[in-house]
Structure 1
């Protein structure tokens, strides 16, 4: 009988349950999963935007754009207002100093013409001369008070006029006594009045004053710059557009109402400021080419006309050696023809016609008749013809000068009012921008 061998069995070892790690070991073990880059390293996730801080920055940009626009535009408008005032004041001063210059030549013409009569000069001509000197002294004082920049030159001019008047007084005293030296005193006074080589001569000082005030007046007349007024508005609109664009990107709103209203306010104010400046610039250009130019040129003609009359008398005083004064007369006459208005040009032609008769009589050997024609106060003489020209020319200078200054001052207050409105509405535009950004800030919160 066979017996079966017993089955050999093998038992598999049982797996032990994993022992949970101790807290210390768990803390020491590295965390599972992919490694995360450190903040700031390449591949790190972008940091979260600080929206409130961005909103604050955009608000600062919008507010500064509006406020700077308001301040700069209002400042330019105030400068425009001041320029018109200065142009009016400088035009008035120009008329004063030109009148001083013309009256100086007028006084010299009266003195030389009266000297031709010999002995006691006609009372009316002496009174006219004294009135001219008194008028010059008064106008110098008025001009010094009106324009501090001219005071030093006007003081020198006053001293020169005093010296001239003293020399004329010596010439008169000698002429009354029949002394030939009187004529020399007269020529010295008249030549010294015009002498450009001697420091302190009256006419060169007066001409320098005229040139300085003309430069100031014309500079202020041209001080309106419309396109310069556009720049602050364009810059402000560009910044407000940028702020609105940034808000649209973050909040998916195409237009921020507050910022848009601020931009609209800036745009309207800029267009109004530009239009006003453009109109004022055109107006000032018209004045410069119109009444201002008429006043300046007519005063130049009046000055030259009286200079010519003085040279006419000096020619006769010098008798046979007076050609140099006739040459000066021709130069002065050409200045009158180049600058006189149509109205006074015809009056000057009347004087030129009589002067030619004086020259013909003198050249023809009838000296006494030439003197009589030059000194008579009748309408047929050269004195009456010159007086008619001088009187009308003086009126035109006064009228056109007043038209210029009145036009510059009338309506100029409106520019100042516009500057105040621009400043206030610019502040309001800044408030609108703040309000618009505050809406987004509430949405974010």
Structure 2
């Protein structure tokens, strides 16, 4: 039975508070309690790449997000296409410009240096044969050749690439040319006094020309011609990277428009259509422009450069042959070949004429029109007559008639000198024609690339803007 407490019952005594006692220290293997552990640090942050990837994945799950990604990719492709096209075409145009305005002119100047030096040597020998009273025309021709060679050397030194061997050959020519002219003046001074020493000086000058000056000029010509070939090859290389990017960019734009059509039944998106049109224009311009430039450079090489090389070789051979022909009479059998059996200058004359005949035959086959074939045919005819007259002069000399042989070599009527002049004039005319053809074709090739680099960049920017606006128009439908 429960009783209600009454007022008479005393109150219960209070329970004393006993403070909690600390437990024993944790052992070495025990874990600290939750109350004693340090507060947790901030959660570990992901890298920027991981966050960006996560955001892209999240965006790709929605149509607006997918559209933004597609727009960014399309704009990047179109801009990359334009930038790479501008870069590659600028490089091709630079090489084509070098062909027209630097490499080929330097190659032609190097050939002219060789021709001037060889012609100066020929003129010096002809003047010596004329006796103490050197003809003014021969003297003027010699000075004109030396002046031309000196001027072209200065021009070549100013325009050639300092990293090539051309500098070394130019330095050799500049060093040896004053020595040569000094020897020629000594030969002339002795010849005026009737001293036999003049012939020795002339032969020494010719030896310096054939062993030092002309080989250096030949090396300079080969170096500049090799650089011309390099520039020509660089200008002809197809811009494969640009063409590939163009195809990819247009393919991406077509895919985006097809996707848009399948999802909305809208046939055209004006922005994407404009971007596709701009990219297509750039791609066609690139392909057609480079094809035209390549064709022009190939024509310049086939119809101009190859013919120029062969004609220069022919002219050099004729100059060498003429110099050796003159020296045959100057030396009068005093200089023999290495085996001691034949006259050195007569042997060199025969070799030079053989090379001349071969070069003229090849030049005739390379000539592609009447204006090119006619002077070559004239040179062939004059060279053939030159051989006959030289044979006649040699027989006269061997018969003991030195003066008669001299008249048949340097005389004003019926001499081999007249035939040489006809050959040289015909070759000069042929060279001028082929040079004009080369320049015309090469400039046409260069012209096909003008404006393409800037045009590609501008159209690419417009195409990228069109792609962004086209995708933006679709995005506005979700707002």
**1:212, 1:56 → 2: CA distance?**
56
Shift of 1:224: 2.2
Name the SS of the counterpart of 1:416 in structure 2. coil
Tell me which residue corresponds to 2:32.
none
1:193·1:202 contact (CA, 8 Å) conserved in 2? yes
- Residue 202 (str. 1) matches residue 202 (str. 2): no
How far apart, in 1, do the equivalents of 2:398 and 2:435 lie? 42
Bigger mean CA offset, 255-264 vs 343-352 = 255-264
| Secondary structure in structure 2 of the residue aligned to 1:290 | helix
Counterpart residue number, 1:294: 307
Displacement, 1:293? 2.4
SS at the partner of 2:449?
Answer: helix
Could you say which residue in structure 1 is the equivalent of 2:97? Answer: 85
After superposition, the CA RMSD in angstroms is 2.6
Distance 1:104 1:356 in 2: 26
Query: After superposition, what is the alpha-carbon deviation per residue over 1:30-51, rounded to whole angstroms, capped at 9, x for unaligned?
Result: xxxxxxxxxxxxxxxx978144
Select which of 201, 204, 220 maps to 1:185.
201
Counterparts of 2:462 and 2:352 in 1: how far apart (Å)? Answer: 62
Structure 2 contact 292–445 (Cα < 8 Å) conserved = no
Normalising by structure 1, what TM-score? 0.80
Residues 318-365 of structure 1: per-residue CA shift (max 9 Å, x gap): 223452222211222122222233332222222222222222223343
Instruction: Please list, as runs of the form range in 1=range in 2, the aligned pairs for 1:305-324 lying within 5 A after superposition.
Output: 305-321=318-334, 323-324=343-344
5 Å-filtered alignment, 1:94-173, equals 94-149=107-162, 150-173=166-189
Aligned residues of 2:294 and 2:445 also touching (Cα < 8 A): no
CA spacing shift, 1:294–1:342, aligned 2, 3 Å: farther
Shift of 1:251: 6.5
- Give deviations 1:6-27, integer Å, cap 9, x for gaps: xxxxxxxxxxxxxxxxxxxxxx
Aligned counterparts of 1:151 and 1:164: Cα–Cα separation in 2: 20
In 1, distance between residues paired with 2:227 and 2:313? 18
Task: Report the number of matched residues.
Answer: 394
Q: Unaligned stretches of 5+ in structure 1?
A: 1-45, 196-200
Deviations 1:362-383 (CA, angstroms, capped at 9, x unpaired): 334333322221121x131111
Structure 1 stretch displaced more, 47-56 or 122-131: 47-56
Write the mapping of 1:3-42 to structure 2, written as runs, cut at 5 A.
none
Change (3 A) 1:79 1:59: same
TM-score normalised by the chain length of structure 2? 0.75
SS at match of 1:49: coil
**Alignment deviations for residues 210-233 of structure 1 (CA, whole Å, 9 cap, x no partner):** 112212223333322346352231
Q: Quick check: 1:358 aligned with 2:393?
A: yes
1:283 aligns with 296
Q: What is the distance in 1 between the residues matched to 2:330 and 2:252?
A: 78
SS of equivalent residue, structure 1 residue 306: helix
1:59 aligns to what? 71
Spell out the pairing of 1:261-410 with structure 2 (5 A cutoff). Answer: 261-321=274-334, 323-340=343-360, 341-376=376-411, 378-410=412-444
